[in-house]
Amino acid sequence: MAMGDEAKHKAEELVGKAKEKTGKAVGNEEQQAEGKTQQSKGALKQAVDKAKDAVTGGKDNKPRT
């Protein structure tokens, strides 16, 4: 998986965490929920990336034997 995608997915997770904490601090439940959803999306995308890496043999895309 491209390193850019990994960074983008991790960033999405971190932005979601910040959004959740901000929502909690200001009492905005909708913003908290959006933050949790965004975190979940980022984590899921990272898991998919790891699964793809496992199948393709890692980041260098050499098939495992």
Compute CA 26 distance to the chain's CA centroid, rounded to the nearest angstrom: 24
Q: Has residue 58 got a pLDDT over 60?
A: yes
> How confident is the model over 57-62, as a mean pLDDT?
66
Residue 62 three-state SS? coil
Query: Is residue 31 in some structural domain?
Result: yes
Q: What is the pLDDT of residue 1?
A: 54
Query: Is residue 59 in some structural domain?
Result: no
pLDDT tens, position by position, 15-55: 999 999 999 999 999 999 999 999 999 999 999 989 988 88
pLDDT tens, position by position, 6-25: 899 999 999 999 999 999 99
Residue-range definition of the domain harbouring residue 23: 3-50
- Number of independent structural domains in the chain: 1
Query: Is residue 63 in some structural domain?
Result: no
Query: Is residue 60 in some structural domain?
Result: no
Query: Is residue 57 in some structural domain?
Result: no
Query: Is residue 21 in some structural domain?
Result: yes
Residue in 45, 41, 1 with CA at minimum distance from that of residue 19: 41
